[in-house]
């Protein structure tokens, strides 16, 4: 969560290695994902292109498998490249449920797609390695630095992708139940300052924006939650951030011990944030800060130390930045801009050949748990969120300087601002057209999936992750799908 955990002056959890990077490098205070879900956001990061350009519509549909990423280009230009851990930019290999939920979001029904979020404490005070898969990948990356990188005669690019901090799939009901367990051990939980955790304000269900209500419902968050439950979910999430920080620490320590740290640029970022019960939601898929705002820290030779940058940047900027670092010519058609001038502390006037960096960032979402394509334009103090075709769902406007918690939608109050931001948004993306394209795509995908099942369709669709709701009135829900088709 870019806003809560990595903001300067945060008092909630100790993150020693994030702080090490802040001291020895640059932190971007306003970095955003270009799509707040794993696969599409990674597609943007590895391609340097906005989501609607690569057509990375959901967690199953990302970049084409043969897409040339920045790492492919670095390898072509003499870099030794190495990847470990979670990549997820061509397809998230997510379950059938994830796919069907994304395709059927335009159907006129409300079904719970997730398990209710909960916490689980495991092990004792000696239990350090809770997320074992991430630790295995961290060990591999560290071994590679200590045994291979140190002997290379060519420059290297190493990528390590972690799952943490991310809720775990609920263990008790297979893929048909949601991913909703915040899991940690006493070792990490003790690093969280429990009394510093704020409980977010919630709007009443009746006051919620209709898309927010749909999201809260499908995420199983519309029921009653005690203050203690909400605080625990947030505390466990922070503990998972602390475990992530320790993995970053292993990489930094390996670079330091081998003498490589002084000649290596280190970038720490994330594909999206975690709402952790802000706005009565967990997970991501939302344009609220907790979900769309990401950490971005960079340190290394030539990068200004103890620098805080408030310029708006986003994950599409990673691609041109990596090419810039490697001295590879940056293609002109990218959505992103190199961060190198900012990182070196250069004035905005010293711009790239493409002209100045825009004063806005774009994020968009077309996947599950949200029943309309969503487009977010962030400028100086404004966040403008438009939906679908631009008129059938009301937009949202937040003044982040006056309302950092995004509790008051002032779109009706400021029609001129909405108009001018909508104009900018439409100059970047013809969003009504993209939304209708996604609707067609969803329908086509669903039909071919349905046909592939033949006689089994009714049984399969009834037993996806929404089975507990579906099985109460299977005929009603099947009929809703038929009407949609």
39: annotated active-site residue: no
Residue 156 domain boundaries? 16-443
Domain containing residue 31: CATH number: 3.40.720.10
Residues 260 and 346 in one domain: yes
Asked if residue 10 belongs to a domain, the reply is no
| Residue 219 in domain | yes
Q: Are both 283 and 189 inside the same structural domain? A: yes
Whether residue 372 is found in the same domain as residue 472: no
> Quick check: is 288 in a domain?
yes
State how far the Cα of 372 lies from the Cα of 211, in Å rounded to an integer: 7
| 186 shares its domain with 234 | yes
Please spell the DSSP secondary structure of 444-469, one letter per residue.
HHHHHHHHHHGGGHHHHHHTSTTHHH
- What pLDDT sits at residue 3? 42
Does 237 lie in the same domain as 219?
Answer: yes
Could you give the number of structural domains in the chain? Answer: 2
- In this structure, the answer to whether residues 448 and 438 fall within a common structural domain is no
One domain for residues 221 and 339: yes
Residues in Cβ contact with 147 at an 8 Å cutoff, skipping those fewer than 6 apart: none
CA atoms of 452 and 441, how far apart (whole Å): 17
Residue 250 included in any domain: yes
**Buried (b) or exposed (e) across 270-287, using 16+ Cβ within 10 A?**
bbbbbbbbbbbbbbbbbb
Q: Is residue 5 part of a domain?
A: no
Residue 105 lies in a domain: yes
Distance separating alpha carbons of residues 114 and 189, to the nearest angstrom: 25
Q: Which of 38, 221, 241, 368 is catalytic?
A: 38
Going by the DSSP 8-state scheme, the letter that residue 78 receives in this structure is T
Pair 145, 239 in one domain: yes
User: Could you write out the DSSP letters of every residue in 295-340?
Assistant: -EEEESTTPPTTEEEEEEEEGGGHHHHHHHHHTPPPPTT-S---SH
Q: Are residues 142 and 229 in the same domain?
A: yes
| Distance separating alpha carbons of residues 319 and 74, to the nearest angstrom | 11
| Domain assignment of residue 423, yes or no | yes
For residues 415 and 459, membership in a common domain is answered with: no
* CA pseudo-torsion sign 452, 174, 163, 435: positive
Q: In this structure, are 391 and 421 located in the same domain?
A: yes
Q: Do both 117 and 80 map to the same domain?
A: yes
Tens-level pLDDT at each residue, the chain (485 residues): 334 445 545 679 989 999 999 999 999 999 999 999 999 999 999 999 999 999 999 988 889 888 999 999 999 999 999 999 988 777 766 788 889 999 999 999 999 998 899 999 999 999 999 999 999 999 999 999 999 999 999 999 999 999 999 998 765 554 445 568 999 999 999 999 999 999 999 999 999 999 999 999 999 999 999 999 999 999 999 999 999 999 999 999 999 999 999 999 999 999 999 999 999 999 999 999 999 999 999 999 999 999 999 999 999 999 999 999 999 999 999 999 999 999 999 865 555 667 789 999 999 999 999 999 999 999 999 999 999 999 999 999 999 999 999 999 999 999 999 999 999 999 999 999 999 999 999 999 999 999 999 999 999 999 998 999 999 999 999 999 999 99
In a domain, 24, yes or no: yes
């Amino acid at each position: 969560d870019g806003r809560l955990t990595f903001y300067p002056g945060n008092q909630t959890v100790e993150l020693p290695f994030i702080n090490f990077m802040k001291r020895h490098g640059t932190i971007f205070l306003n970095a955003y994902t270009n799509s707040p879900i794993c696969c599409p956001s990674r597609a943007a990061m590895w391609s340097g292109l906005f989501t609607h350009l690569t057509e990375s519509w959901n967690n199953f549909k990302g970049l084409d498998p043969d897409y040339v990423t920045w790492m492919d280009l670095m390898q072509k230009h003499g870099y030794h490249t190495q990847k470990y851990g979670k990549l997820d930019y061509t397809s998230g290999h997510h379950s059938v449920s994830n796919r069907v939920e994304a395709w059927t979001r335009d159907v006129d029904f409300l079904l719970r797609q997730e398990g209710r979020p909960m916490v689980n404490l495991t092990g004792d005070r000696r239990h350090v390695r809770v997320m074992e898969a991430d630790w295995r990948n961290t060990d591999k990356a560290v071994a590679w630095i200590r045994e291979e990188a140190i002997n290379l005669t060519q420059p290297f690019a190493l990528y390590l992708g972690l799952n943490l901090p991310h809720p775990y799939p609920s263990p008790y009901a297979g893929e048909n139940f949601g991913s909703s367990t915040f899991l940690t051990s006493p070792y990490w939980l003790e690093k969280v300052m429990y009394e510093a955790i704020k409980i977010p304000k919630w709007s009443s269900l009746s006051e919620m924006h209709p898309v927010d209500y749909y999201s809260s419902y499908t995420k199983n968050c519309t029921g009653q939650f005690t203050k203690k439950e909400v605080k625990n979910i947030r505390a466990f999430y922070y503990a998972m951030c602390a475990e992530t920080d320790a993995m970053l620490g292993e990489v930094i320590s390996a670079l330091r011990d081998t003498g490589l740290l002084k000649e290596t640029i280190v970038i720490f970022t994330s594909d999206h944030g975690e709402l952790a019960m802000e706005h009565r939601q967990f997970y991501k898929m939302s344009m609220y800060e907790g979900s769309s705002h990401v950490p971005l820290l960079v340190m290394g030779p030539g990068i200004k130390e103890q620098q805080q940058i408030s310029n708006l940047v986003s994950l599409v900027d990673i691609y041109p930045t990596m090419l810039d670092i490697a001295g590879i010519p940056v293609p002109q058609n990218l959505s992103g801009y190199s961060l190198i001038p900012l990182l070196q502390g250069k004035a905005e006037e010293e711009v790239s050949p493409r002209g100045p960096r825009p004063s806005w960032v774009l994020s968009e979402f077309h996947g599950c748990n949200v029943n309309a394509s969503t487009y977010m334009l962030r400028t100086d103090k404004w966040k403008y969120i438009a939906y679908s075709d631009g008129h059938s769902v009301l937009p949202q406007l937040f003044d982040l300087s006056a309302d950092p918690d995004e509790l008051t939608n002032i779109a009706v109050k400021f029609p001129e601002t909405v108009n001018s931001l909508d104009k900018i948004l439409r100059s970047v993306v013809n969003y009504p057209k993209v939304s209708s394209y996604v609707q067609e795509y969803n329908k086509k995908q669903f039909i071919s999936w349905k046909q592939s099942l033949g006689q089994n369709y009714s049984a399969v669709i009834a037993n996806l992750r929404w089975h507990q709701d579906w099985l109460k009135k299977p005929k009603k829900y099947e009929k809703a799908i038929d009407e949609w088709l």
